[in-house]
Structure 1
């Protein structure tokens, strides 16, 4: 097949392009800018566009399909040419469904934890040499790509994102997958630029549950009251499997998971990650993995990239980096680090970087999110607020939203960096939470503070 990618450089898009090239398809693509690591990975396979920009002449009648990325605009010249020619144009999730419509589709959704749960499942299956197709939102240790597609594998495991499918398809991605086996980890309002009310956001999860293939199953976090209501109210004829956080304890910085065979030390930690583990176990069992085999494999799981990632440690100090940005994720991550290191002072730093987190009307959702830390810091860039076209957010508004009198707020990258590098981290834990980089913070230099 001949496939052309419009906006090939995106994190998800370039991984799909690499997967299809590996499958034997002929791939071309365009983009106006491509950053690392996408650039080098595409270049290594000969898929990097020779010139950046949009070129309608790349669209021709020998193409079997065009795949449109979120980065493109509805008036993209290549898209307009494809539409004019009547070529089949897919969104990313549409094409994944097309590749998997004769497979058993396992879809992992939820406002938080879906990347970690998907990663856990793939780790367990890989540990036991069980071949499946997959799409996951983080680079995993031991996996070449985030997307893998074959003709022969029976299962495909898909991370089910609730964000929009493409610039011309406003449906959430996970509505398009039609799962046979589904999991939802929880519902916590996010993406307010698309879902302006909590009720509208919850409705997307109801649509997802109602769209599970008849006779399929929903595995769900029974500790999330809103999610329980969604699952219990569906009239879809599906099996329902609730899960709860398993028993565990922390001893000398090690989390011990209670199993039928006794206590087992594991690499990951935090109540939210143990809850994720319980959901992953249910899904693996539905895919044919025995409970004892699941535990054997999960003991070696070290976490998904950018999710509670330990980047440096010495005798009495440690630093973690995490992708957390939504209120529920920030709270869970901060509590997890404090629980793991109760005798150490915790300095939790959060960068408000996303559209939702920089929205003045959404800020109050962060109340209490950093309370587990002895010291709390928030960094945000007023320029980022302007770029996103939002109303100005003030330091006073942030302080009031977090309801924490001693919170430190920085808007200048240099001032934040100077603060960080003058701290004494003896007997401390540092947690850096962001989907950005604090205005250009050198993480390699930060590591030197913990040597």
Structure 2
């Protein structure tokens, strides 16, 4: 097959391009800019466009498919050419469904935790030599790409994102997969630029639960009231399996998971991650891995990239970075680090970076989210607010939203770095939460202050 990618440089898109190239497809693509690591990975595979920009002449009638990324606009010249020629146009999730129509589709959905749960499942399957197709949203140790597609594997494991499919397909991605086995980890309002009300956002998960194929299975977090309500009301799944956070203890900075064989040390920590683990166990059992084998494999799981990822440690200090940006995830992550290191001072730094987090109407949801930290810092860039065409937010609004008098707020990247690298850490846990990089912070430099 001949396939052309419009906006090939995206994190998800370039991984799909690499997977199809490995599968033997003829792959081409375009983009107006491509950053690392996509640039080098595409170059090494011979897929990096010769020059940046959009070139309608790349679109011809002999293409079998065009895959359209969210980065492109609806008036993209290559898209318009494909539409005029009648070339089949797929969104990213549409094409994944086409590749997996004859497989057992396992889809992990939820406002938070889906990347971690998908990574846990994939780690366990890989540990025991179970080959599956997959797509997940973060790089995982031991895997070259985030997408793997074959003709032969029976299962495909998909991280089910609720964001939109493409510029011309406004359906959430996870509505298109029609899972045979599905999981919902939790619901906390996000993507308010697309889902303007909480009710509208929740409705997407109701649709997802009822998109399960006939005879399918729904695994769900029974500790989330909204998820529980949706799961119990869903009529599509034949079987439903609730899960809850398993018993565990923390001793000297190590989390011990209670198992039928007794306490077992694990690398991941925090109640939210133990809850994720319980969901992953159910899914693995439905994919042919028994409980004992699950525990054996999960003990060596180090976590997905940017999800409570340890970036430095000394005898007295430790530093983590995390992708957390939604209020519920920020609170869960901050609480988890404090629980893991109760005797250490916790300094929690949050960058407000996403559309939702920089929206003044959304800010109030962050109240109390950093309370577990002895020292709390918020960074945001007024320039990012302007680029997203949002109403300006003031430091006063940040203080009011987080409801914390000693909160430190930075709006200048250099001033934040001066604060960070001026810290004198002593028996401290440093937590950096962001889906960005604090205006250009090199996380490797954190070791200088530990």
Q: Could you state the TM-score of these two structures normalised by the residue count of structure 1?
A: 0.99
Contact 1:268 1:303 in 2 (8 A): yes
Equivalent position of 1:298 in the other structure: 298
1:176 correspondence with 2:172: no
1:286 correspondence with 2:286: yes
CA distance in 1, matches of 2:421, 2:317: 14
Equivalent position of 2:336 in the other structure: 336
Equivalent position of 2:229 in the other structure: 229
Equivalent position of 2:28 in the other structure: 28
Equivalent position of 1:61 in the other structure: 61
Out of 407-416 and 295-304, give the one that drifted further.
407-416
The SS at the match of 1:448 is: helix
1:416 correspondence with 2:419: no
CA distance in 2, matches of 1:344, 1:52: 49
Equivalent position of 2:214 in the other structure: 214
Contact 1:23 1:149 in 2 (8 A): yes
Equivalent position of 1:434 in the other structure: 434
Contact 2:379 2:410 in 1 (8 A): yes
Contact 2:218 2:237 in 1 (8 A): no
The SS at the match of 2:9 is: coil
Equivalent position of 2:353 in the other structure: 353
CA distance in 1, matches of 2:430, 2:398: 21
CA distance in 2, matches of 1:243, 1:237: 16
CA distance in 2, matches of 1:178, 1:378: 40
Gaps of 5+ in 1: none
CA distance in 1, matches of 2:118, 2:330: 20
CA distance in 1, matches of 2:191, 2:57: 35
Cα deviation 1:63-90 (Å, max 9, x = unaligned)? 0000000000000000000000111000
> How far did residue 421 of structure 1 move?
1.6
The SS at the match of 1:295 is: helix
CA distance in 2, matches of 1:445, 1:250: 29
Superposition pairs of residues 297-316 of structure 1, within 5 angstroms: 297-316=297-316
Cα deviation 1:354-377 (Å, max 9, x = unaligned)? 000000000001011101000100
The SS at the match of 1:257 is: strand
> How far did residue 235 of structure 1 move?
2.3
CA distance in 1, matches of 2:266, 2:442: 30
Equivalent position of 1:122 in the other structure: 122
1:260 correspondence with 2:265: no
> How far did residue 238 of structure 1 move?
2.1
The SS at the match of 1:305 is: coil
The SS at the match of 2:228 is: helix
Contact 1:7 1:32 in 2 (8 A): yes
Cα deviation 1:127-159 (Å, max 9, x = unaligned)? 000000000000110001000000000000000
Aligned-CA RMSD value: 0.6
> How far did residue 186 of structure 1 move?
0.5
> How far did residue 418 of structure 1 move?
1.1
Cα deviation 1:234-268 (Å, max 9, x = unaligned)? 22242110000000000001000000010000011
> How far did residue 324 of structure 1 move?
0.5
Gaps of 5+ in 2: none
Equivalent position of 1:365 in the other structure: 365
Equivalent position of 1:80 in the other structure: 80
Superposition pairs of residues 112-191 of structure 1, within 5 angstroms: 112-191=112-191
Superposition pairs of residues 40-59 of structure 1, within 5 angstroms: 40-59=40-59
> How far did residue 414 of structure 1 move?
1.4
CA distance in 2, matches of 1:442, 1:104: 41
Equivalent position of 2:9 in the other structure: 9
Cα deviation 1:255-311 (Å, max 9, x = unaligned)? 000000100000111100000000000000000101000000000000000000000
The SS at the match of 1:192 is: coil
> How far did residue 440 of structure 1 move?
1.1
CA distance in 1, matches of 2:271, 2:425: 25
CA distance in 1, matches of 2:110, 2:332: 15
CA distance in 1, matches of 2:206, 2:111: 13
Following TM superposition, where does structure 1 have runs of at least 4 consecutive aligned residues deviating by more than 6 angstroms? none
CA distance in 2, matches of 1:48, 1:238: 45
CA distance in 2, matches of 1:237, 1:412: 50
Out of 255-264 and 226-235, give the one that drifted further.
226-235
Contact 2:104 2:155 in 1 (8 A): yes
1:198 correspondence with 2:198: yes
Contact 1:212 1:238 in 2 (8 A): no
Contact 2:281 2:291 in 1 (8 A): yes
CA distance in 2, matches of 1:416, 1:141: 31
CA distance in 2, matches of 1:238, 1:382: 49
CA distance in 1, matches of 2:156, 2:246: 27
The SS at the match of 2:409 is: strand
Q: Matched residue pairs, number?
A: 450
Q: Could you state the TM-score of these two structures normalised by the residue count of structure 2?
A: 0.99
CA distance in 2, matches of 1:187, 1:93: 21
> How far did residue 61 of structure 1 move?
1.3
